[in-house]
Structure 1
């Protein structure tokens, strides 16, 4: 990738509609709900290009000053929307989620009981860098990491961390024909890893007027952090309120299943999605009887399970995978369980978002004769 920064309104806009991240329209740490007015309204089947904004570099423990924070890494071309959000009077305290949530988008014709189909058509890097952060009290090893409140291992490239947060800066470059992240490992050494961008947070408005935090995922989708939702993937979400009210955020350049440190490689993306309504009467042909998020790729169907307890999330993912096979294809439930035990791969989506996630990889090739 190039070292350029994709500022709001610049570069190619592939969608029929364009939605930047504007201070007066976003939600910082909270999700749109049933009573939230839409910031954009589109027809069923329309495409929308959304400039999503990463929270890393904007948060209070990084100084809430992205210009100063990024300067220590040699970054001088800072996203204008990052500067605007940081300089705004929007609150973002210890009880708020970190995510900058863009939306909601009303999809005309969507009704509660329908399914919203979200086709991810494009993901462009907006910046040539990202961060992986570990904060006290969070992550798979909360209480064990960060091990060093002074962040000595990363001090050579990150001199402005506070409260014991360790934010690993990652350069984005090309190596051996692929886009890679490059993190300092001390002593002049670096570790590289491949990139696979996706939006960690895509969802519909929950059917409530109460405040809903952005961190825990649920039936509405939200912060599901499933790395398989990249370009070419489809996310099916149950419509819970009329017009669906779709939103997006938490952009990632890469993530391992589990997201064990707390964050993935967090970095801003320009996403183009197609938003289509699957009427309730037709929903069984795509998701069976499920009323929670389902991902589809070119090779797999991916039912999900979520709970505050990882064991229960696993059980829910198993039940949902059985329900998917039984209600979409008519396979007996006992056969579905046997099949899943033989070949279904259950992966931990993430263990860091209060509500933990497990998803099941069902190979499409096994069901070609049933379609």
Structure 2
């Protein structure tokens, strides 16, 4: 267990998920007060809390909720227990479920700059988490969650929350309910990384956008770099929605939701080329060691796909001077486009372009 203030801290700064400081259900906006201010290139270790196990439809009592799965009170994170027991208002009809830590201000950040978040380390804070299907949501609303036997067809959809654990070999372990279990590899990442949008209105935590937020792209794990266009002075970066793993689509509604301690390097880009590319793209963009990632975001999945393809073409033309028709042919022949998630109102598609494929064009224009 990585309780607040205990265990390894790898960054220049350490930010706890203090229940009095985190945002629950809404993201930081232009009026949010930073809880930390750092310089470009500095690293921050951030504790994150999973919302699963503390929500109202789970009793808002993690001690009782996890006890039903055989997890004792001594095995719970103190910050999660304190947040659930606090007087913080959380109405699921108004608020999103997510808990986010921050915001962190970047000295000198101006609208139009680009904030790079490099994921350096992700440590599991607990050896368990939750996968939920609730309120008739997910990819199969009206079919799942299943109604209890004998319930009338118009009965409210229940919440089905399954507690999964991490076994000694580092695999996820999901009981089937009959003595067997499913095992699967873990691939931790933060579902939410974002900057404050340029609004004083409340920003719901569920739909992603140009500010980033609830992107739920499973490739944004250790070693990945996410680029977010700064929208307010200071950028006001935040992180949350930690996952131990997620399949593309996130079809039940949640992934393997579980708490992480993340160490992130925050770098501010003010050069003309990076600012110009971010301004021309419709969504944030990212890189891994081997791939460029472009994102398409829209309530309509077909339109999200079109946005991802358009942004991939923009990346090829702006960075590598590839003519549009040639770029489109390359994308069709060699690039992969996946559904990130279909459960956050705004649906997501991510395109993956191999850096090795583009190596013959190196160096890029910038």
- Which TM class, normalised by the smaller chain length? over 0.9
Greater shift, 304-313 or 327-336, is seen at 327-336
**Retained in 2: the 8 A contact 1:29–1:100?**
yes
Q: Check if 1:12 corresponds to 2:8.
A: yes
Distance in 2 separating the partners of 1:163 and 1:75:
26
Give the Å deviation of 1:267. 0.2
Tell me the number of residue pairs that the alignment of Structure 1 and Structure 2 aligns.
354
Counterpart secondary structure, 1:342: helix
Quote the residue 1:173 is aligned against.
Answer: 167
- 1:282 is displaced (CA, Å) by 3.8
Provide the aligned C-alpha RMSD in A. Answer: 1.6
Question: Once the 2 structures are TM-superposed, how far is the Cα of residue 292 of structure 1 from its aligned partner?
Answer: 2.4
**Matches of 2:197 and 2:338, distance apart in 1:** 26
Cα deviation for residue 368 of structure 1 reads 1.2
2:342 to 338, 342, 351: 351
For residues 106 and 121 of structure 2, what CA distance do their matches in structure 1 show?
Answer: 19
Is the 8 Å Cα contact of residues 204 and 247 (structure 1) preserved in structure 2? yes
TM-score normalized by structure 1? Answer: 0.92
The one-character-per-residue Cα deviations of 1:197-219 (angstroms, maximum 9, x if unpaired) are: 00000000001111110000000
Q: Which residue pairs with 1:142 in the alignment?
A: 141
Is 2:110–2:235's contact at 8 Å kept on the other side of the alignment? yes
Please tell me whether the aligned partners of residues 61 and 163 of structure 1 are also in contact (alpha carbons under 8 angstroms): no
Structure 1: segments with no counterpart, 5+ residues = 151-161
How many angstroms apart in 1 are the aligned matches of 2:84 and 2:232?
A: 31
Tell me if the contact between 1:173 and 1:182 (Cα under 8 Å) persists in the aligned partners. yes
- Report the 3-state secondary structure (helix = DSSP H, G, I; strand = E; otherwise coil) of the residue aligned with 2:326: helix
Could you tell me how far apart the structure 2 residues matched to 1:284 and 1:82 are? 38
Corresponding residue of 2:110: 111
Which residue in 2 is equivalent to 1:40? 36
Name the counterpart of 1:99: 98
Deviation at 1:148, TM superposition (A): 3.1
Q: Distance in 2 between matches of 1:280 and 1:237?
A: 14
- Equivalent position SS for 2:123: strand
Q: Distance in 1 between matches of 2:82 and 2:24?
A: 13
Map of 1:74 onto structure 2: 70
Aligned to 1:23: 19
Q: Is the 8 A contact 1:288 1:325 kept in 2?
A: no
CA distance in 2, matches of 1:287, 1:280: 11
What SS is found at the alignment partner of 1:272? strand
Tell me if structure 2 keeps the 8 A contact 1:284–1:327: no
Stretches of 4+ moved more than 4 A in 1? 284-288
